[in-house]
């Protein structure tokens, strides 16, 4: 392999190791030594790839978000064009994709918060992307809610995140179908208040 290929291989091995370790035992409990041992690279090689754990966490988090955005956007695009169908398709796709791998759910909704200020910009970017997806879907359909669309979208994304944190931390996790039904209910009440 060339030097660039070796560097890319090490980066990928570190990202895969961090994907597991940052989810369990968690960001703060995972040392660089443990990451390097799991990825089978030296500590020196770590710093050739990342400046520290925070930059590695950012790479893992960004990958999780990018994959989830793409999956959710695809589900919305393929759904029936009616607003309710888009709501159900988008929420179901997001929740199912995030929860099908407990590591992804923990990193996106719990560990990113525990990492603190170093990841606040990445988290805000992700919230913004999901809010824009909601706004774009509604604007495309010509829907005008009674309140500011951007603020409504942010509020709904925040509520969805809190439900997923509850799911991650619960001793007895509620069924995924219950999470989807709960989200669909309050999103329908927000955007389709006159529907039964």
pLDDT digits (tens, 9 = 90+) for 31-56: 999 999 999 999 999 999 999 999 99
5 in any annotated domain: no
12 in any annotated domain: no
The mean predicted confidence, pLDDT, of the chain is 91
172 in any annotated domain: yes
93 in any annotated domain: yes
Show the domain range for 132.
Answer: 52-191
Mean pLDDT value across residues 125-129: 88
Q: Measured between alpha carbons, how far is 59 from 82 in angstroms, rounded to an integer?
A: 36
135 in any annotated domain: yes
Domain count, the chain: 1
1 in any annotated domain: no
* pLDDT grade for 123, boundaries at 50, 70 and 90: confident
Q: Are 166 and 55 in contact (CB under 8 A)?
A: no
CATH number for the domain spanning 93: value is 1.10.357.10
Does the structure show a pLDDT above 80 at 138?
Answer: no
Q: What is the pTM of this model?
A: 0.89
pLDDT of residue 195: 61
13 in any annotated domain: no
């Amino acid at each position: 392999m060339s030097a660039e290929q070796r560097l890319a291989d090490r980066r990928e091995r570190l990202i895969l190791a961090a994907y597991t370790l940052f989810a369990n035992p968690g960001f703060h409990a995972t040392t660089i030594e443990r990451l390097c041992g799991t990825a089978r690279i030296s500590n020196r090689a770590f710093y050739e790839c990342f400046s520290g754990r925070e930059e590695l966490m950012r790479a893992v988090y960004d990958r999780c978000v990018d994959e989830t955005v793409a999956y959710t956007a695809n589900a919305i695009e393929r759904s029936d064009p009616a607003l309710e169908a888009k709501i159900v398709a988008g929420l179901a796709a997001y929740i199912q994709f995030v929860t099908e791998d407990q590591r992804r759910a923990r990193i996106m909704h719990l560990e990113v918060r525990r990492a603190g200020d170093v990841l606040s910009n990445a988290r805000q970017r992700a919230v913004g992307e999901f809010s824009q997806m909601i706004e774009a879907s509604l604007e495309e359909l010509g829907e005008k809610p009674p309140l500011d669309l951007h603020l409504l979208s942010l509020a709904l994304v925040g509520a969805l995140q809190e439900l997923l944190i509850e799911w991650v931390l619960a001793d007895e996790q509620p069924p995924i179908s219950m999470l989807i039904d709960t989200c669909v209910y309050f999103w329908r009440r927000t955007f389709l208040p006159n529907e039964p």
